[in-house]
Structure 1
Amino acid sequence: MFGFGMEVGIDLGTASILVYIKGRGIVLKEPSVVAIDKNTNKLLAVGEEARMMLGRTPGNIVAIRPLKDGVISDYDVTERMLRYFIHKTCGKRKFFKPKIIVCVPSGVTEVEKRAAIDATTEAGGGTTYLIEEPIAAAIGAGLDIAKPDGNMIVDIGGGTADVAVISLGGVVASRSIKCAGDTFDQAIVRYMRKRHNLLIGERTAESLKMNVGTAYPRTKILTMECRGRDLVSGLPRTIKVTTDEMLYALEEPVMAIADAVHAVLERTPPELAADISDRGIVMTGGGSLLDGLNKLIEERTGIPTYIAEDPIECVAKGTGKSLESLHILEKSMMSSKNYRRNR
């Protein structure tokens, strides 16, 4: 059923994990959430089933997200989660373990890179390679990064936003900030608490972001009912939230992303900057779907800004295309073989 020398690409995201198998495409897309029984340390649920438990668990069960700001914050839980997903997609195998490419943010440290390699190898992977998310996102978005032309990619995930200028297959200038989808949710929670004395959970904040969230003034004002706990009376309360309120609530994090784009453009060589001005800026990742964010960046930079097709899947697709030229990329990417040899 499973061929010899299986090759797998994993988008190890803060909010979700996508698995790409060479020849089959994206075979798995699940939230990066794990539910564990604290008393027995037993894995109760992984992925969507565990996400449904967030904020709803009894004392002995904890639903956690083991990745934070794009990197591993709980090594043991991440390894167990990866083991579950690798077994689910590749099957349990003792021999001929799959080659795996894992995406990491552009600003990670050597320690964080080694943690990602070790966790993947311990979870059942064979030789493991790392690829930077902006490069994978650019490949997945259909950009030809091998040519001596400037391409600018803005990849906004759950934990980090990576801004990079790519040319000749490498990163010329980049910046990674810990301000992305999760930060949007936290900003909405803070705003609801401060403005309406209403305490809401992460899932409610995410729902508000997806339905009425905006980064740019809208011509048509939308409203949505929001339920939470009144901080004064302690009782449940429902209010209506408008897009104008969300615009104000999200102002700080979206401006941080716009500032990061501006900062990278300032460090970009003039020839590549001219290419970007002609080609435009490409946005990927789930955070790029926030309404009006591309318009805000376009207004701030004066450069046309586009959202890639299937932005959530761009990084995973990029790892898949990287698998096809793995023999070329092996020399430039950090791998578990090189890591063990150098250690």
Structure 2
Amino acid sequence: MSNIFYVGIDLGTSRTSVATSTGKRITTRTCVGYPKDIISKKRFGKDYLLGDYALDNRLGLNIVWPLAEGVIRESEKSLEATGLILRHIIAEAIPDKKESDKIYAGIGVPAQASLNNKRAIIDVTTDYIDKILIVSEPFAVAYSIDRFDETLIVDIGGGTTDLCRMHGSIPEKEDQITLKIAGNFLDDVITKAILEKFPDVQLTPRIVRRIKEKYGYVSEVSEPVVVTLTQNGIPAEYDITDILRESCLKLTNPICKEIQKLVGTFDPDFQEKIRNNIIIAGGGSRLKGIDRAIEKSLRDYGGGNAATVQDAEYCGSIGALKMCMEMPEEYWEKI
């Protein structure tokens, strides 16, 4: 007798997370490393490496981030890499799957992903996913926390920030906004700001990401942020407190403007309710003080209330899982 396994996937620019009906949760970096030459291929003994393992060995690999811009890049290598990542993480999450068993998956994508991009996901997973439901990432977040009435979801990922107004039914196009200002943008801003003040320090994307994730803030006060960086291999301490806040504000200020837009264009009878029900999700929700910064931006509108999700890592994948377990048959494979 065959079994049906349900899988919720948050296919993110930087990280991909999975939650399954068996209770398993797994996350991985959304990247694939291909050996640079015959020497690296001999060293690894594989045609590709995935996730953190690939990054740990990146000097001998060509790293592909297939969703670097928030959606699958339209190249054969990016499509292949996306398929490899999804195949691997599903196999890891459901190791006991038999050949006769079925996989039903809900996959979260950016709010305004194109029809072609959704079709590409279906095409690269057709060999190992039996039924697929493509869902908006902010809608998946709302589904995970059962917030469907007059709620504004702000999902700050790596490549995109997705905003979505919920009002008791499936959101319309005008309820959703996708910004290309997100975690990767902030990494670039922080890198440029540090090098402008300390031009000789040595930075890599992983170093900058660790700084952002550990110290990033937009609150008006903070403990001093002093980090150890190297200059020509020699470590020293650098105070980046002001640099970090000014950089993070370049992320949050545009997001706040789009929140104002979605509040200001909503039905006037429900504007007060939606500005007092703002949920912040994604990796960007970990920035210290981001909830208060959003509330401050709504003072001219009568104030607001913003809160961050408790589980930023798996909130989207849990919502996608719940949705695919509860969704009526006629919605499957609907794009």
Q: TM exceeds 0.5? A: yes
1:126 corresponds in structure 2 to 130
Other-structure match for 2:9:
10
Q: Tell me, yes or no, if structure 1 residue 63 matches structure 2 residue 63.
A: yes
Shift of 1:26: 4.0
* Matched length: 317
Q: Deviations over 1:191-222 (max 9, x none)?
A: 1122211341111111211222212221x432
Secondary structure in structure 2 of the residue aligned to 1:283: strand
Identify which of 133, 140, 149 aligns with 1:136: 140
Which residue does 2:180 correspond to in 1? 178
Give the counterpart of 2:56 among 49, 52, 58: 52
Q: Does 1:112 align with 2:117?
A: yes
Shift of 1:236: 5.0
Shift of 1:297: 0.7
- Contact 1:211–1:224 (CA under 8 A) maintained in structure 2: no
Following superposition of structure 1 onto structure 2, how do residues 1-343 of structure 1 map, counting pairs within 5 Å? 4-22=3-21, 24-39=22-37, 42-54=46-58, 57-58=59-60, 61-73=61-73, 74-91=78-95, 93-122=98-127, 124-140=128-144, 142-145=145-148, 149-172=149-172, 173-197=175-199, 198-218=201-221, 220-229=222-231, 236=234, 238-277=236-275, 279-301=276-298, 302-327=303-328, 330-332=329-331, 335=333
Q: Indicate if the aligned counterparts of 1:214 and 1:292 stay in contact, CA closer than 8 A.
A: yes
Flag structure 2 segments of 5+ consecutive residues without an equivalent: none
Distance in 1 between residues matched to 2:331 and 2:327, nearest whole Å: 10
Amino acid at match of 1:134: P
* C-alpha distance in 1 between matches for 2:28 and 2:208: 19
How far is 1:289 from its partner? 0.6
Aligned-residue offset at 1:261: 1.3
* Deviation (angstroms), 1:324: 2.5
Q: Check conservation: 1:295, 1:305, Cα contact below 8 A.
A: yes
Matched residue of 2:162: which SS?
A: strand
Q: 1:163-215, CA deviations, whole angstroms, 9 ceiling, x for partnerless residues? A: 11112231151211011111111111111122211341111111211222212
Residue type of the alignment partner of 2:255? I
Q: TM-score, normalised by structure 2?
A: 0.87
Unaligned runs of 5+ in 1: none
Decide whether the 8 Å contact of 2:150 with 2:277 is kept in 1: no
**Which aligned runs of 4 or more in structure 1 are off by greater than 3 angstroms?**
38-44, 91-97, 234-239, 330-333
How far the C-alpha of 1:280 sits from its partner, in A, is 2.3
| Aligned counterparts of 1:323 and 1:163: Cα–Cα separation in 2 | 22
Distance 2:230 2:265 in 1: 44
Counterpart contact for 2:263–2:274, Cα < 8 Å: no
- RMSD over aligned Cα, in angstroms? 2.2
Residue aligned with 1:36, SS: strand
Cα drift, residue 108 of structure 1: 0.8
CA distance in structure 2 between the aligned counterparts of 1:196 and 1:3, rounded to whole angstroms? 60
Asked if structure 2 preserves the Cα contact closer than 8 Å seen for 1:213 and 1:243, the reply is no
Give the Cα separation in 2 of the matches to 1:213 and 1:86: 32
Give the Cα separation in 1 of the matches to 2:88 and 2:36: 19
In 1, distance between residues paired with 2:131 and 2:123? 10
TM-score relative to the length of structure 1: 0.85
In 1, are the aligned partners of 2:218 and 2:290 still within 8 Å (CA)? yes
Judging changes above 3 Å, is the alpha-carbon distance between structure 1 residues 185 and 53 closer, same or farther for their aligned structure 2 residues?
farther
